[in-house]
Structure 1
Amino acid sequence: MGACISRNNKNNSNNNMREILLYKGEFLGADLRAMFNNPVYSDIIITCKDGGVVYGSKLLLAARSDVFSRLILNNEDNNNRDNRNKDNRDTFSTDDNHITFTEFCSSTLLIILEYLYMGDIMIESLTLNNIVEAYLGAEYFLLPGLEEIIITFLDNALKCSADNNLSAKLLTQASEYMLPSSDDVFFRTLHNRLVVTPLESIEYNNLTAEGLLYVLSPSNMDTDYEEFVTPEYGVFRYVVLWAAHRCNNSNSVVTYFEPLLPSSDHAEHLDANEIEQLRKSHEKNKKKSKSKEIKEKIMVLLKPLLSLVDFKLIHPSVLANIIEPLDIVPNDMLIEAFRYQAQLPAGSGPRRNRGTITAKPENLRFQWSQQACGKQCVLMESDTLLKSNSRKFEWARASLPIRGHEIYEWDIYIEETCKHLWIGVCTERRHKVDYSTYLGRSNYGWVLGSNGSLYHNNQLYSKGYGVKFGKGDRVTVHLNMGNRSLAYSINGVRYGEAWNTLPAELYPAVSLKKSAKVRIEMHKKPIIIDNSKYMLPQPPQSSIHTRTNTSMVSPVISPINTSVNTSINNSIITPINTPRPTSQVTAE
């Protein structure tokens, strides 16, 4: 690819170009690449804001870009004017054979010209350092095809990066040039990554006020498909500490608030001693002379952000014991949240996250994560089927975390097995995970092995918890987030509690190696019908086991969900217009 050529190394570059020209005439694409940024075939010089120059052909650029066409072909008319129109002179200036762009670096103009010459760019042209300006350049020169290439690169880079701060940094950088908007695909891509990144993992100096407003604004959330991975209390905590870090004399403000805001994992599980300690801390702070001054400082920054926190999604105990004593949230917001909590139906706890996925277990999309799996794991069939080509153990987790207080259940179908297969859950919060290992060895994995034993932190917790399982079997995981416990069923037979005191955030996970292939699906419960309510009188001469009158039974069971098997007296009644099952599912 052509590089930015300075006036000093012009002769060396010409020698390299002569070697390329020896092969001209064979392929149009090769000839165009030889012309790209080549002074030999150029009749215009483009100077950039960093002092670098790029070479181009007037006719080619004018033919390929409306913007260049206006700049180059209308240049003569522009030179005859009395400088009456200077709308874009802060961005560029032109004369007969020269254009100066004061807003774009040479690396950006090289990407623009490479696309105009070739209709594509080499992937090495884009980096995380120039991607924001490259996208701005593609917008400025009206090149939607190049915009699409840049967005694809951005999306892949964000998915592959282990740096949780990357999206925030790029959002801050892009916000310096454009107002963040969900209508812009660049900002939308960054937003989609940020909502699945825990806010607490993002350094406070990497998000500006504009960026934080954009991320938290409900109008930017597609609630049918997106989940905000940070619990709402975590959002409040981050907002307060973000504002504290931006205050003058921030050390004193941070020192004041940080001990009063427990982590998201711990906030809902404070014991009596911890609550009492918090109360004493608040009483002590009230006596400090600078307490009022500190709160006034932080409220200047907090005021526009507090309206973006949905306090109705925060547990009442957290509202009462942690947030209300801070005395920085308006009373009407807290009263509304308490009223909402009080009006909830008995037994139904509130959601903890904005978005719909964690609100209802039945809406959870069970898929394996392409970013959170071993290097030789292969995902198929919309990421629901997972196999491994590794001779050593590796593991993978699902794409979205599970939190809240409800019951989540999913099935792992074993289509192919290996010597040992492990099924369970994992957590990644505050852990540096290694996907190229056996999950039961780590302190962030809880698994049941195909030998029927339970393992965690490289320890055998229960030998013979369940029966052995293998190819063709179905393992169901029952996760109760209300009491943080987990149990298993194997082919419909449920066993006792396997784990308890699990973390507040978990992912479905499996550990496997070569030959194994497993599928993850939402668990479908069988319907058990009371025989005494629905059995019809049978003539004495006919046997119930020989034939079932579907015309008589269908009206009786029609209100029942027929998407699952129905067991009556150990025989299967197949509803009309549904395929007859090949095997009976035992009630759990």
Structure 2
Amino acid sequence: MTNLTNPIKKQIIKIRGESLENDLKTLLYNERFFDITLKCSNGIVLGACKNILSARSNIFNNLIQHKNINNIEFEKIDSNAMEFILNFLYTCRIDLEKLTIDNIIEIYHATEYFELHVLKKHIIEYTKQILEYENDDSGKKLLSNFVKKFAFNTDNEISQILIEWLAKISLTSDEAEKDSLTLIGLRYFLCKTYNTKKPFATFELDIFEYIVIKINKIILNSLEIKDKQNEKENEIIVAKRMNYYLKLLTPCIDLRRIESDYIIKKIEPMNVFPSEMITDAYRFKLQEENNLFRSIRGIPIFRWNENNLRNNLYISKDGFTLQADQNLDAYKHVMGDLIIRGKGIYEWDIIIEKLCKIIYIGICDHKKFNQECYNNNNQYYGWVLGSDGFVYNKKNWKKYTSEKFKEGDKVTIHLNMTDKTCAFSVNNIRNDYVSEWKNIPSEVCPIVSLKQGSRLRVQHHFYYESY
């Protein structure tokens, strides 16, 4: 007889008859009631009762009734996931406290295999809570675990949730060396979002630089540099491996969204992109109808930048809502974490959830922000629309809208980086481009200025025309 290995050792001592759930749970841990064994992918064998499995799961019913077997082997379900499934089948209890970043995908895979739709729904909702309340790296690890567990071409509900969540996270060079996103996870993410029409937070150039840094870190971690005599040899190895890994990811990178100068100076010399792919990118850029094609895939979205946050300003956990303390008497200027460059049209919405004093919404010079902003004596900074209906830039202002803002209003910024022009809409009523603004720089960031309790939320522009 197969030796059973039960990972839970605690003895369940309950008075029978008081709780159906507890009574059924005793069957799960008492070998007297086992008439079938389940060998899991990690070699652990669990015992179970055929009648309960058949009654609770169509998949188990088919396996047991049609084949009349006393043991089943599962090559892709480990004992952790199987025990979670058995506990649910026996008691209908969902032990969410047992879910972790490391086992959620494994258990989700098991719910799909056994077609347990109720349990799967609870796991999906719990995953959403993790993405909302845990740090950004948790979602990256979940996506990496997903690609490791499922076939690369898999599309299901949890993969869509993870992809859409990661798309709203800015992939920065600083995080590339230390986050948990694997190369295969990154490749899956980029392939699935190549033609996305949904919110996206990372420019294509930044994606490429993130990839290069991540690959370089992976390669260096795999090398043993014992002395300086091996440095040249290691440089050759690094170059070869870099070339190999980059070629795996090149189909997922949209060169049309990267500036020509960067392609010429940085990308072409690497000899990793097919010449046809580079030529097609150049030809695309030369066509006049593509003049508004953006340097970012999907619909641009950003979060408020915590790096330039000051006292008495608060950002929500998801990064999209910014609030000033009631006691903040001086105006503070806060940028979004999206550096807008290149050509194309960029639009985003700011929802005025709470309005105290005048607020200012618009764009600013990314390169000069730290230098100029805190020496600025004005209430505003950059090229902005005030809630008083005036537009402002430096010492210049003029009346722009006939009405002042109120709480609940939606302000949309329409930025044309090809023509370097900017316009605003209030509650979907669009106004003309501000003709006096002829000095918008080549790199800008979203910005707001607020004080004394005002609260603003950024969201992607729903009526966005994708380019």
TM-score interval, normalised by the smaller of the two chains: 0.5 to 0.7
Change in Cα spacing, 1:495 to 1:417, as seen in structure 2 (3 Å) is: farther
Partner of 2:69: 78
Residues 367, 311 of structure 1: alpha-carbon distance in 2 compared, 3 angstrom cutoff = closer
**Is the CA contact (8 Å cut-off) linking 2:215 and 2:245 kept in structure 1?**
yes
Of 393, 406, 410, the residue aligned with 1:471 is 406
Give the distance between the partners of 1:343 and 1:464, measured in 2 at CA.
37
- Report the equivalent of 2:188: 214
Task: Give the alignment's TM-score, normalised by structure 1.
Answer: 0.53
Which residue identity lines up with residue 342 of structure 1 in the other structure?
L
- 2:373 paired residue number: none
Amino acid in the other structure paired with 1:309: I
The match for 1:295 among 224, 236, 239 is: 239
Taking the aligned partners of 2:459 and 2:162, their CA distance within structure 1 comes to 30
Q: Which residue of 2 aligns with 1:33?
A: 21
- Matching of residue 63 in structure 1 with residue 72 in structure 2: no
Cα distance between partner residues in 1 of 2:59 and 2:410: 61
Determine the C-alpha separation between the residues in 2 that align with 1:40 and 1:450.
64
Q: Secondary structure at the match of 2:361?
A: strand
Aligned residues: 416
Determine which structure has greater relative contact order: mean sequence separation of CA pairs < 8 Å that are 6+ residues apart, divided by chain length.
2
Matches within 5 A, 1:224-373: 225-247=197-219, 294-345=238-289, 348-355=291-298, 357=299
Shift of 1:78: 3.2
State the distance in 2 between where 1:143 and 1:290 align.
51
Counterpart of 1:175? Answer: 147
Whole-Å Cα distance in 2 between the matches of residues 89 and 389 of structure 1?
A: 58
Q: CA deviation at 1:352?
A: 1.4
Distance in 1, Cα, partners of 2:120 & 2:378: 45
Q: Deviations over 1:139-160 (max 9, x none)?
A: 2323122222222322332243
Secondary structure at the residue paired with 1:230? coil
Matching residue within 93, 107, 114 for 1:141: 114
Q: Give the Cα separation in 2 of the matches to 1:228 and 1:506.
A: 15
Identity over aligned pairs, percent: 26
Does the C-alpha gap of structure 1 residues 247 and 123 become closer, same or farther in structure 2, counting only changes over 3 Å? closer
Superposed displacement of residue 484, structure 1: 7.1
Q: Give 1:229 deviation, angstroms.
A: 3.2
The CA distance in 2 between the partners of 1:332 and 1:515, in whole Å, is 49
Q: Which protein is bigger by CA-based radius of gyration? A: 1
The aligned counterpart of 1:190 is 162
Q: Please give the alpha-carbon distance, in whole angstroms, between the structure 2 residues aligned to 1:289 and 1:125.
A: 48
In structure 2, the CA distance between the partners of 1:515 and 1:6, relative to structure 1 (3 Å rule), is closer
Question: 1:422 corresponds to which residue?
Answer: 359
Change (3 A) 1:341 1:293: same
5+ residue gaps, structure 2: 1-5, 226-231, 305-313, 367-376
Q: CA deviation at 1:63?
A: 0.9
- How far apart are the structure 2 equivalents of 1:236 and 1:123? 38
Aligned to 1:549: none
Report how far residue 205 of structure 1 moved.
Answer: 7.0
Paired residue for 2:3?
Answer: none
Deviation of the 1:64 alpha carbon: 0.8
The residue number in structure 1 matching 2:228 is none
Task: List per-residue Cα deviations over 1:337-377 (Å, max 9, x = no partner).
Answer: 223222335x925431234x35xxxxx9x999xxxx85599
Q: 1:515 to 1:329 in 2, by over 3 A?
A: closer
What is the alpha-carbon distance in structure 2 between the residues aligned to residue 182 and residue 417 of structure 1?
Answer: 43
Preserved CA contact (<8 Å) 1:120 1:146 = no
